[in-house]
Amino acid sequence: MAPCDEYVLLRRGREQDARGIAEVHVATWRAAYRDLLPLSFLNGLSVDNRERMWNEELRVVHADRAPWVAEAAGQIVGFVSAGASRNEDARPGEAEVYAIYVLPGCWDRGVGSSLLAHAERDLVRHGYKEATLWCLTDNVRGRAFYEQAGWRLDGAKLTRTFADHNVEEVRYRLTLDKSRVAAIA
C-alpha cells in the first residue's frame, strides 16, 4: 500500500522537510524521465545534493513562498515550487511553476492536482496574472497532466543538455484569475 492511500495533508514546506523533498525529487526524476534522459545521468542523481539545495532554499525563502508539500503517513510524497518567472521574455505579472513532483506510487490519486491548485491559488494571492511552466516535449504523462489542468502551450521551446544528451522542452501558460482558483481550490 502506498503512503498516499491514506490521508494526504498539504502544507508549507519547512527546513526539516529538505530530505523528504529531495527524495521525492530524485525518485520522481528517475521514474518519470527513465525513457527520456540517459540512465547514467538518472542513476547519478544524488539525494544528498538535492537535500543541500532544498536546505538552502527552505532556509532563505519567505514562509508564504515556501513550496507546498504533500505528506502522508509522516512521509513527503510530493511537492510544488512556484514564484516569479525566470523566463528571459517574462511579461509583467508573470509567475512560473518551477517544479512539481509526486512519488510514482502516488500518481493518479489527485496529489499532483491538489498541489498544482495550491500553487495557482498562491500565485493569484501574490498578484500574478499569468504563470508558465516548462515540460520535456516527450514527457507524455506530464503534458497530459498540465493540459487536463487547463494549461496551454504558448509556442516557446528550448533545448537543455543532460549528460551530453539534448532534450527539448515546451512551455505551457495559464491565465490566473480568482474565479478559476476559487473553483479548483
- Which residues make Cβ contacts (< 8 Å) with residue 185, sequence separation at least 6? 117, 118, 121
Name all domains of the chain by residue range, CATH numbers in brackets: 3-131 (3.40.630.30)
Q: How many Cα neighbours within 13 Å face the side chain of 85?
A: 21
Average of per-residue pLDDT values in the chain:
93
**pLDDT at site 127:** 93
pLDDT (tens digit, 9 = 90+) per residue, 16-38? 999 999 999 999 999 999 999 99
Listing from the earlier edge strand, what are the strands of the sheet with 152-162? 8-12, 68-72, 75-84, 94-102, 130-136, 165-175, 152-162
Q: How buried is 126 (Cβ within 10 angstroms: 0-12 exposed, 13-18 middle, 19+ buried)? A: middle
Q: What value does the mean pLDDT take over residues 47-76?
A: 93
**pLDDT at site 88:** 93
pLDDT (tens digit, 9 = 90+) per residue, 109-146? 999 999 999 999 999 999 999 999 999 999 999 999 99
**pLDDT at site 182:** 56
For 185, other C-beta atoms within 10 Å of its C-beta total 11
At 153, list the grid cell.
502551450
**pLDDT at site 180:** 59
**pLDDT at site 63:** 79
- Comparing 73 with 47, the larger pLDDT belongs to 47
